[in-house]
Amino acid sequence: MKTIKKRWAALLLLPALALGGCSAIPSYSSDYGNARQQVVGVTLDQQKADEIGQRFTQAFNRLGSEQFLIDAKALYAEQLFINDTLSQYAQRADLVEHFRGLNARLSNVDVRLLNTSYYNDSAYVHWRMAYDLRMFGTTRTMASYGVSEMKINADGKIIFQQDFWDPADGLYRSLPYFGGIYSWVLPFKKQP
């Protein structure tokens, strides 16, 4: 019975997907490439890269609280390039407003710094994030691994951030209602 309901839901979703497929959604790859060349940060060493990773994970461990919004204003510069794989921002005010929306849906956030490295002015921060997400009247615990490429200005504020993580595993497959359809349309294949 559950399988039949999932198939009906998928069939009802197909017209919406077909219509959505008719409109072009721009790729962010060229934006990333352009910003990566144009935004120049301070030259880093391992110690500075470690500091960036620690400040980033400490701030994001407060995600879901008012303190996080204060920390985010101190972490990011007014003008910036940030792409978190789901959205892209050029102004800190817009980014903080986005974070305000996340604050309303996330709790029990646990961000762990796994390691950092650097190349010239880019820090590469490898992290693991787990959180509880409230959506569609339910709460789900989710977790994801990712890497954020970051550049900072002379004041130590982030002016460039590109997140690399898998939203399919870290979000979409776990969403109430939508996750089942997503998994049915794009199943994960694992070979033993």
pLDDT tens digits for range 55-66? 999 999 999 999
Average confidence score pLDDT of the chain = 82
Residue at 90 is within a domain: yes
The reply to whether 189 falls in a domain is no
Q: 101 vs 173, which has greater pLDDT?
A: 101
Domain assignment of residue 192, yes or no: no
Give the domain CATH number at 60.
3.10.450.50
Q: Which helix (H) or strand (E) holds 149?
A: strand 138-152
Average pLDDT in the 36-44 region?
A: 96
Give residue 116's domain range: 28-184
Tokens of 58: 């400490």
Indicate whether 161 belongs to any domain.
Answer: yes
Residue 167, domain member (yes or no): yes
- d(C-alpha 88, C-alpha 94), whole Å: 10
Indicate if the alpha-carbon torsion angle 177, 179, 182, 188 is positive or negative: negative
Tell me whether residue 141 is in a domain: yes
Residues 131-163 pLDDT 10s: 998 877 888 888 889 999 999 999 999 999 999
Residue 16 falls inside a structural domain: no
Q: Could you tell me if residue 13 is inside a domain?
A: no
Give the pLDDT confidence score for residue 18 in this predicted structure: 47
Percent of the chain with pLDDT over 90: 55
> How many distinct structural domains can be found in the chain?
1
Q: What is the pLDDT of residues 85-137, one digit of tens each?
A: 778 999 999 999 999 999 999 999 999 999 999 999 999 999 999 999 887 78
Crossing angle of the two packed helices 2-22 and 178-185, in degrees rounded to 10? 80
Q: Confidence band (pLDDT; 50, 70, 90) for 6?
A: low
Residue 16 predicted with pLDDT over 90: no
Which pTM was predicted?
Answer: 0.77
Q: Which residue has the tokens 């986005």?
A: 98
Q: What is the rounded distance in angstroms from the CA atom of residue 157 to the CA atom of residue 51?
A: 12
Does the structure show a pLDDT above 80 at 84? Answer: yes
Q: What is the pLDDT of residue 47?
A: 98
Is the confidence at residue 39, as pLDDT, over 70?
yes
